[in-house]
């Protein structure tokens, strides 16, 4: 099968990292090309792409409306003559004039506009939450294929006896409107002032536009000594160090999937998520993790306290969550399901 993946930019992020995993496995038995439209890409991330994948750089200035980029893109498609064109942005169909047998798009988030859906053969949704959102607004063929992780690369926690500070981790873009870091900071404030618990710390891994706001919020609430901004860390570092934490909390307001939750489960961490969206789906609506009421930082604090107090009793949930991730969220299963969808 001749497969072309098209993406606007190729910088470090969840969707881009997932795309590397997909194409590096698809190329084992298929001809695979990656077209990057914008002159915006991370060289280190690009270096992780298998040498057998053909990489084509269109070189468009981001947001440019130049017709030359569209011509160049479609000329490259004409030369490749793919069986499958797989798009990774909802506006890319307007740039694809070359019509292959099938054009697919992966929806990575909720509330994505369906303006160009009529040009697609089908949509791959990364969770049931995303799929339900799509089919509520259009009638296009939609499959749910959860993102996968390389579970063999995740170092597993082996001791569940807490000593010293209770360490919480969140791995996400620092964008509180979506990822909810402010909810967790306010929960730490409640733990400290209302419950007398001040030995809980939080490490935020990631970068984003909300960091200054969240630092200021931490200072105003008097918990700045318990909140740490670790910056952007590569996946190898994260997979090596998840085991050093006691809890993964992902209080996202809007999350189509939440791969980081599955990664925490793969490291045998207990996970705490709001009872909505993709993260709640990943934890089996409470079978494999703990939930708190969405937007409720007080309930989040109460659940953290309960987890901390009953830590050793969580082992059955942690083991069940680990086995669930191994079974459902492996990269190999994801790639197999993608090829099945292409053959629809």
Residue-wise pLDDT for 15-40, tens only, equals: 888 899 999 999 999 999 999 999 99
Q: Is the pLDDT of residue 163 over 80?
A: no
Q: Which residues pair with 7 in a beta bridge?
A: 36
Rounded CA separation 92/74 (Å): 12
Residues 321 and 281 in one domain: yes
% residues pLDDT > 70 (the chain)? 99
3-state secondary structure 107-173: ECCCCCCCCCHHHCCEEEECCHHHHHHHHCCCCCCEEECCCCECHHHCCCCCCCCCCCCEEEEEECC
Instruction: Confirm whether pTM is higher than 0.75.
Output: yes
Claim to verify: residue 132 and residue 232 sit in the same structural domain: no
User: What percentage of residues in the chain have a pLDDT greater than 90?
Assistant: 78
Q: Are residues 54 and 181 in the same domain?
A: no
Nearest-10 crossing angle of helices 181-193, 211-221: 10
Mean predicted confidence (pLDDT) in 111-129: 90
Q: What is the CATH number of the domain that holds 222?
A: 3.40.50.2000
Residue 127 has a pLDDT of: 87
- What does the pLDDT read at residue 60? 94
Give me the mean pLDDT over the 61-75 stretch. Answer: 91
Identify whether residues 72 and 138 lie together within a single domain.
yes
Q: Model confidence at 100, in pLDDT bands (50, 70, 90)?
A: low
Averaged pLDDT for residues 61-87: 93
Task: Say whether both 59 and 181 belong to one domain.
Answer: no
Exposure of 150 by Cβ count < 10 A (0-12 exposed, 13-18 middle, 19+ buried)?
A: middle
Q: Check residue 14 and give its pLDDT.
A: 74
Q: What is the pLDDT of residue 63?
A: 82
* 237 and 271 part of one domain: yes
**39 and 159, same domain (yes or no):** no
Note whether 104 and 194 are same-domain residues: no
Contact 187, 161 (CB under 8 A): no
181 pLDDT above the threshold of 90: yes
Q: Could you report the per-residue pLDDT of 140-160, keeping only the tens digit for each?
A: 999 999 989 889 899 999 987
Higher-scoring residue by pLDDT: 54, 164: 54
Residue 319 pLDDT exceeds 70: yes
Whether 226 has a pLDDT exceeding 80, the answer reads: yes
Lowest model confidence (mean pLDDT) among 96-100, 268-272, 302-306:
96-100
> Which pLDDT belongs to residue 110?
84
Q: Are residues 233 and 298 in the same domain?
A: yes
Query: How sure is the predictor about 162, in pLDDT bands with cuts at 50, 70 and 90?
Result: low
Distance CA 292, CA 286 (A): 10
Host domain of residue 88: 2-148+330-342
Is residue 141 located within the same domain as residue 165? no
Mean pLDDT of the chain: 93
Q: Helix-strand-coil percent breakdown of the chain, rounded to 5?
A: 45, 20, 35
Q: What is the number of domains present in the chain?
A: 2
pLDDT higher for 97 or 275? 275
The string of pLDDT tens digits covering residues 240-286 is 999 999 999 999 998 888 889 999 999 999 999 999 988 999 999 99
Burial class (CB in 10 A: 0-12, 13-18, 19+), 274: buried
Do 12 and 84 have their domain in common? yes
Collect all residues with Cβ–Cβ distance below 8 Å to 78 and sequence separation of at least 6. Answer: 98
Same domain, 22 and 138: yes
């Amino acid at each position: 099968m001749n497969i072309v993946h098209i993406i606007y930019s190729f910088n470090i992020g969840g969707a881009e990292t997932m795309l590397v995993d997909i194409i590096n496995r698809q190329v084992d038995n298929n001809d695979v090309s990656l077209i990057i439209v914008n002159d915006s890409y991370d060289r280190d991330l690009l270096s992780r792409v298998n040498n057998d994948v053909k990489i084509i750089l269109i070189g468009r200035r981001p947001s440019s409306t130049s017709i030359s980029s569209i011509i160049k893109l479609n000329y490259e498609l004409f030369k490749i003559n793919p069986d499958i064109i797989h798009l990774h942005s909802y506006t890319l169909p307007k740039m694809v004039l070359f019509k292959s047998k099938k054009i697919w798009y992966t929806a990575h988030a909720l509330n994505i506009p369906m303006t160009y859906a009529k040009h697609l053969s089908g949509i791959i949704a990364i969770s049931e939450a995303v799929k339900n959102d799509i089919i509520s607004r259009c009638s296009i063929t939609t499959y749910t294929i959860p993102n996968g992780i390389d579970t063999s690369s995740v170092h597993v926690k082996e001791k569940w006896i807490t000593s010293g500070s209770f360490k919480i981790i969140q791995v996400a873009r620092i964008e509180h409107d979506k990822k909810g870091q402010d909810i967790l900071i306010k929960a730490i404030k409640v733990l400290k002032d209302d419950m007398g618990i001040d030995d809980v710390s939080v490490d935020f891994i990631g970068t984003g536009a909300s960091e200054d706001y969240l630092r200021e919020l931490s200072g105003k609430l008097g918990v700045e000594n318990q909140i740490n901004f670790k910056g952007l860390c590569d996946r190898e570092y994260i997979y090596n160090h998840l085991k050093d934490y006691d809890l993964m909390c992902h209080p996202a307001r809007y999350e189509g999937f939440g791969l980081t939750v599955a990664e925490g489960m793969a490291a045998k961490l207990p996970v705490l998520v709001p009872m909505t969206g993709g993260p709640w789906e990943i934890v089996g609506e409470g079978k494999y993790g703990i939930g708190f009421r969405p937007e409720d930082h007080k309930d989040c604090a109460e659940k953290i306290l309960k987890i901390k107090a009953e830590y050793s009793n969580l082992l059955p949930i942690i083991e069940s969550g680990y086995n669930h991730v191994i079974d459902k969220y492996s990269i190999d299963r994801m790639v197999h399901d993608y090829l099945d969808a292409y053959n629809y």
